Structures are given as C-alpha cells and as structure tokens.
Amino acid sequence: MAEKYTMQQVKEFSEKYKNWGKWGPNDQLGTLNYITPEKVIEAAKLVKQGKTFSLAIPFDDKGPQTGSFGRFNPIHFMMQDGGDVVAGAQNHLPNIRYTDDAVTMPLQCATQWDALAHIMYENKMYNGYAASEVTSTGAKKNGIENAKSKIITRGVLLDIPKYRGKSWLEPGEAIYPADLDGAAAMGKVSIGKGDLVIIRTGQIAQVRSRESWGDYSGGSAPGLSLTCAPWLCEKQIAGYAVDTWGTEVIPNETPDVFQPLHIVLIVHAGMLVGEIFDLEELAADCAKDGVYEFMFVAPPLPITGAVGSPVNPQAIK
C-alpha cells in the first residue's frame, strides 16, 4: 500500500521545484526549454535500426472513456462516403469523386499531452499566470500550441513491471525513486537533462488480458508516488509519460489533495506530462534487443488555446 502524505509536503515540493520566472516572465514552455538543438541532434544519433513504434492507443469508440471527468471516446463520422458517390451526389464534379470525414472528441480522451494550462492551484497556473487566462474560448497563456515544435528529444523507457519481475503493476501500487533507478540500471541507461522519460506500469497489458477497459479511465491505478517529484525535477527532464490515465498512483497518497504530483510538476515545475501511452510493443522490443533509449518525436496538434492534445508519439530506434 502507498504511504500517506499531507498537503504540507505537496507545498514544500512545489516551492522547492518551482520554475516560475526561470526562463523569463513570459515563458510558456516550462521544462521543454531543456530540449536544445544539441539535444535534438543527440536524439537523432540514436536511430540505428530504422525501427519505429507508435505509442498511441486507437482513437475510436472502443476507447477507455466511460464518463469520468465528462470525457467520452472519439466519435468519428462521415460527411461524404461511398454511398454519396454511388448516389450521384457528386456528379456536378467532372470525373473526380471523394470521401470526407470528421471527428468529435475531448482532447484528453486517449493518448495525450497535458498543456501547462491544464492544472491550476490557488487560481494560478505555471509561471504565475492567472486561472482567468483560460476562458470559454481557450487558454490565452500556456496553451498546447506553444509546444508544437519542441517535443523531439531522447526518450528512455523505464519498465517497472519487468524490473519488479511481474507482468504489470496492480491498481494502487506505487512507483518510488528506487524503482526508477532500478529500471534505468536494468536497461543500462542514465537519465539526462532534456530527456523524455517514459514509464511503463503495464496497466494496458492488464486491460487487454481481461478484454475490458473497466474503470481504467478514472479508477484506481498504479503510478508514481509523490516522492518521485525530486527525482523527476532534479534530473531536469523535459517531461514524462505513463501508460495510465493520470500517471500518479490512485488512490493518491494524499487524502487532502487530488493528484498532488500534477500540482508540483505541471503548475510549479512547468513539466510536460503525457497520459494513456501504449508502451507494450516498445517494451517487448526493448526487452528483446536490450536498447531502452531512442529518438522520441511527439509534437501536439497546434490547436490554439487547447489545454491538452491528442498525439501519436513515435519511438524510433
């Protein structure tokens, strides 16, 4: 069972790892500032085999959402289909015929990035911007579009279940700094400034084994302990992503605050956070060839003012 911590400890971590003003009063990138041109070049040099792995789950009506936080699965519909073609609806066009479609979805219903405008604490978001900067028309500060060309860097997979000798972690099972260090040692990788750390809990493997998402989209989950905050911040990583809906261990270790790491990392450290990543194919390949580092490319859709974005992340070996 996870340990219990208080809001006071959350506040202490928040103040210690606060990056407000570090990159100037107008910054909207946070820890993505750690990704330099030199870091991109370093990442490109990791491509040696030409193997690519998508870390996205399918974006369809069979996804994980069951109404938690008001979210639903993508609704894909056709605006023009083959029936329109056969019926002659496009006969006004000389020779050519076409199909067209659209999708309606919450931007955080499947594999996605959290924007720095996604989480607030005491009516403020990263870099001290007021919560009121996010209006009914979107985020005027810290929108996801700011990251449109920044998420290209060295990626490192930390496979926690493999390190612990099991297929997956159970809901409510916490990951501690010693686990992160142990998984890195197992994969013979070190974590460097500007890296994107990808953490596998195996929850998606568990979901597939039972052939049901169950309460995956908002229920109990394995994940990071609050005590991982120093590990993540002091290594000056660009961000991290996990294969669960919220990255943190659920139930949280803090009875008096929901999702405490989100407050420390997104609001105060300005850290990029990714959720619902499918890491199973990548993890199997890393276990097979022993290579746990790769070029990582995962820009968000530059939806102006969005507080999150769907993404199809690519790990390239």
What is the CA angle 244-240-116, rounded to 5? 95
Q: What is residue 3's predicted lDDT score, i.e. its pLDDT?
A: 77
Residue position matching structure tokens 């686990």: 179
Q: Would you say 202 and 168 are in contact if contact means Cβ atoms under 8 Å apart?
A: yes
Domains defined for the chain, CATH in brackets: 7-69+106-316 (3.50.30.50), 75-104 (no CATH)
pTM: 0.96
| Per-10-residue mean pLDDT, the chain, length 317 | 85 98 98 98 98 98 94 97 97 96 97 98 98 98 98 98 98 98 98 98 97 95 98 98 98 96 98 98 98 98 98 98
Nearest residue to 316 via CA among 201, 112, 152, 186: 152
Q: What is residue 106's predicted lDDT score, i.e. its pLDDT?
A: 97
Q: What is residue 1's predicted lDDT score, i.e. its pLDDT?
A: 54
